[in-house]
Chain A
Amino acid sequence: MTTIRKLFIANRAEIALRIVHTARRMGIATVVPMHNQDQFGPALTEADETVEIFGTPAVAAWLDIPGLIRAALDTGCDAIHPGYGFLSENATFAKAVELAGLIFVGPPAPVIELMGDKITARRFAVAQGMPVTLSADEAEDPTTFEKRALAIGFPLLVKGAAGGGGKGMQIARRVEDLANAISVARAESQRYFGDGRLFAERFVEQPRHIEVQVFGDTQGHVIHLGERECSIQRRFQKLIEESPAPKLPDGLRNRICDAAVKLAAAAKYVNAGTVECIVSPDGEFFFLEMNTRLQVEHPVTEMVTGLDLVELQLRVAQGEPLPLDQGDVQFSGHAIECRILAEDADAGFVPDTGKVLLLGIPAGPGVRFDSGVTAGAPVTADFDSMLAKLVVHGADRTLAISRMRSALADTTMLGVTINNDFLSRVLHHPAFARGETDTGFLERHKAELAPAVFTDDERQLMLAVAASAAPDISATRIPEPYASMGAWRN
C-alpha cells in the first residue's frame, strides 16, 4: 500500500475540477497542468499547484506523454490521474507512468491493451460467455470481409476497429449501401484514429445503450455499481444518461450486471471501468465494448449509490481493498445527467464558439453542476464542446425529470450557444417520460423537438431587457425643470 500524497491530474475542464474536489477532501495535494491557450478552467484556481504544459495545437499538450510525466515529476507528484479522453485509455501512457515510478490511477497497462482493442476485447468477451452480436473482423481476412459482412444480415454497422466515441461508424441498411458504408467508415477511422481497419456487426434496431459500472481492486475483488442508460445520443455521442435504466426488467438487469462483473473479474480488472452493452427491444443484450477509465457520466452512479467513485479510484490505486462488498452497495432513487454542450442543437448540432460572458449555475435539492468553465472563459474549437455536466437526483424518475427541467431553465451561459433548451425539450417529451429511450430517440422525434417560435410579446420583453442590460447608451441627463415635468403637453 502506497499512500498518494500528491496527485497530478492529466486533464482539464470539469473532470479536473471534479478530481481536485475529491483529492482535497482526502487530504491529497493536487497539481493541474495549464496550457497558455486554456487558462480559464475552474480547476486551475482550485488545485494546489499548476504547471505549464506546451503543445501546438493546444490539444497536443494533453497527448504529450513525456511532457506530462515530466511535469508530474517536476512538481513532486506520486500519482497521475488521467481523467477521461486524452490518454486515459492509452496503454503506452499507463506503462510509461509506471516506469517513471508514479502510480497510474487506472487499470494496469495489459488490461488497457486487452480491452482497448475492440477486436481482442470482443474475442475475450465471447470466451467468457458474454453474448455478442454477429460480426465480421476485416483483419482476419481482408479479401472476404465484405462477403462475411453481407452474411451477417442487415441492418449492419461498419466501424473502425480501433475507434470509439461514435466516430468512424456507418450504418448500412441494404445491400446497395454496404460498399459506400465501408469506404466512408474506413476514411473516417483513418482520419480520427490513424487506423483504417474495419469491423462489421449486426446493428440492432432501436437499441438501448446500457452500461455497467464495475470496480476492481488489486486483491481480485470485483463489484458492480449498477447500470446506466445512455441511449439519448446524437451522432453516436451521448447527450443524456440516467441510472437506473427505466423500464428494464430486474432479471435482465441482474444478468447484465453479473455478466459485466464476470468479464471484469476474468480480465483481472483493477480500478474503475465500464462494460457497454446494447439491449434489443426483445430483451436480449450484447457486449459492445469496455472502457478502461472513469466515464463522463459517472455522477449518475454516484448519486444513486452515494459513493464517490474518484475516491474509490484513489484508494484502489493506493493498493487498498475495495471498502465494500457487492451486498453493501445500496441503490436509492433516480439520477439523470445532461451534457451541456456549446452547440446550436437546432441548427444540426453545429458547434459554437464565443466566450462565457454570464454564467448562471442551477442549484437546488438534488442538483449537481460540474462546470468546466468560469465566467469570462473563451470557448474555442480547440477542445471538446462539453462545457458542463448537469446531474440531478430525485426519489423517483418523475421527480428527477421535474428537477432536471427546472435546472435546465436555470442554466445560463450567455455569450455562446448552448443546448440546454434542446435538452429541456427532450425532458419534456412524453416519450421520454414514458421511458421509451433508445438510440433512435432524437432522430425519431426530430420534428417534435423543434423549437417553438418566439411570440411577439416574448421578443418585445427580450428587447426591453437587452436595452436595460446595455451599458452607456445615448444617456443624456435631462436638466430641471424638464426632468420633473416629464412628458407634459399643454
Chain B
Amino acid sequence: MAQLIAKMITLQFSDMPDQRHQVQLRTNAVYVNGRPLQVRKAAAGSFTGMLDGRTVRLRAVAHGDTLYVQLRGRGVRIDRVDPTRARAAATPGGAGASHAPMPGVVISLLVAAGQQVKAGDDLLVIESMKLQMTISASLDGEVVELPLAVGQTFQRNDILVRLQTCGDTA
C-alpha cells in the first residue's frame, strides 16, 4: 500500500527575494511551480537531476530555514519562506519604516541619521499609556531619518524611523 506524504514548501533565492516558488514533493516527482522534475537522492547531501537531457549532480544541506545548494561547483543560498507570512514592503513607507502602534511620546533616540544598523538593533524608546516600548530595526541598513525629537508626541501610525537597505558592494 502506498504511503503518500504530501510535502509543500515555499522557497526563495537569496539573490532574488521578490520571487516565491512553490515546491511540492510527491511520490513520483518534485513539482516546482507546477512543473514536474525528477530528483534522486544519492547519499546524504548528494542528489542527481536532469538538465538538458543529461544527469547532473548536486549537493544540498539544510540549516534551519536556509538551504545551501551546489550545482556544478556553484553554490547558492535558498531560504524557506512561511507562506502565510506577508511579503515584506507591503506597508506604506516601505519595509524600512516603523509606524507607531498607538499614540505616545519619544523618550530617547538610540541611533542617529546615517548610522549603520543591523536587524534587531534598538533604535528608539517610546512611551504610551505608562508603557515604555523599544522600537528595533526590521532590517540591516542605514538610518535615513528620525523624524521625531525626544519629547515629541505622535499619533497612531505616524512614522517613527526610516531605514534603508544598503546596495550591494562592488
In the bound complex, do residue A461 and residue B1 qualify as a contact, i.e. CB atoms below 8 Å apart? no
The one of B30, B56, B70 in contact with A467, judged by C-beta atoms closer than 8 angstroms, is B30
Chain A residues with Cβ below 8 Å from B5 are 475-478
Q: Do A465 and B47 form a contact, CB below 8 Å, given A358-B61, A414-B75, A460-B37?
A: yes
**CA distance in complex: A474, B84 (Å):** 13
The one of B3, B39, B80, B169 in contact with A348, judged by C-beta atoms closer than 8 angstroms, is B169
Chain B residues with Cβ below 8 Å from A476 are 5-6
Please give the number of chain A residues whose Cβ is less than 8 angstroms from any Cβ of chain B in the complex: 47
Chain A residues with Cβ below 8 Å from B9 are 467, 470, 473-474
Q: Does A415 interact with chain B (Cβ within 8 Å)? A: yes
Chain B residues with Cβ below 8 Å from A468 are 25, 30, 39, 41, 47, 60
Q: Does A364 interact with chain B (Cβ within 8 Å)? A: no
From residue 45 to 64 of chain B, which have CB atoms closer than 8 A to chain A? Answer: 45, 47, 49-52, 56, 58-63
In the bound complex, do residue A469 and residue B62 qualify as a contact, i.e. CB atoms below 8 Å apart? yes
In the bound complex, do residue B67 and residue A466 qualify as a contact, i.e. CB atoms below 8 Å apart? yes
Chain A residues with Cβ below 8 Å from B4 are 477-478, 482-483, 486
Please report whether the interface of chain B is mostly helix, strand, loop or mixed according to DSSP: strand
From residue 263 to 314 of chain A, which have CB atoms closer than 8 A to chain B? Answer: none
Chain B residues with Cβ below 8 Å from A412 are 45, 59, 70, 75
**CA distance in complex: A421, B70 (Å):** 10
Interface core residue of B9, B47, B62, B73 (most chain A CB under 10 Å): B73
CB distance from B51 to the nearest CB of A (A): 6
In the bound complex, do residue A461 and residue B61 qualify as a contact, i.e. CB atoms below 8 Å apart? no
**CA distance in complex: A411, B57 (Å):** 12
**CA distance in complex: A463, B6 (Å):** 17
In the bound complex, do residue B11 and residue A466 qualify as a contact, i.e. CB atoms below 8 Å apart? yes
Please give the number of chain B residues whose Cβ is less than 8 angstroms from any Cβ of chain A in the complex: 51
In the bound complex, do residue B63 and residue A469 qualify as a contact, i.e. CB atoms below 8 Å apart? no
Residue interface bits A388-428, CB-to-B below 8 A is 1, else 0 = 00000000000000000000111110110110110010000
CB distance from A342 to the nearest CB of B (A): 11
In the bound complex, do residue A466 and residue B60 qualify as a contact, i.e. CB atoms below 8 Å apart? yes
Residue interface bits B14-27, CB-to-A below 8 A is 1, else 0 = 00000001011101
Q: Does B170 interact with chain A (Cβ within 8 Å)? A: yes
From residue 448 to 490 of chain A, which have CB atoms closer than 8 A to chain B? Answer: 451, 454, 457-471, 473-478, 480, 482-484, 486
**CA distance in complex: A473, B7 (Å):** 6
The one of A420, A465, A486 in contact with B60, judged by C-beta atoms closer than 8 angstroms, is A465
Q: Do A460 and B32 form a contact, CB below 8 Å, given A355-B63, A465-B58?
A: yes
In the bound complex, do residue B49 and residue A465 qualify as a contact, i.e. CB atoms below 8 Å apart? yes
Q: Does B123 interact with chain A (Cβ within 8 Å)? A: no
Chain A residues with Cβ below 8 Å from B52 are 457
- Residue on B with the closest CB to A423? B73
- Residue on B with the closest CB to A461? B49
- Residue on A with the closest CB to B29? A464
Q: Does A360 interact with chain B (Cβ within 8 Å)? A: yes
The one of B3, B7, B68 in contact with A358, judged by C-beta atoms closer than 8 angstroms, is B68
Q: Does A179 interact with chain B (Cβ within 8 Å)? A: no
A-B contacts, 20 listed (Cβ < 8 Å): A347-B169, A350-B169, A358-B59, A360-B45, A409-B73, A412-B45, A412-B59, A421-B74, A465-B49, A465-B69, A467-B23, A469-B47, A470-B67, A471-B62, A474-B9, A477-B4, A478-B3, A483-B1, A483-B3, A484-B1
4 nearest A-B residue pairs (beta carbon): A414-B68, A469-B60, A358-B61, A483-B4
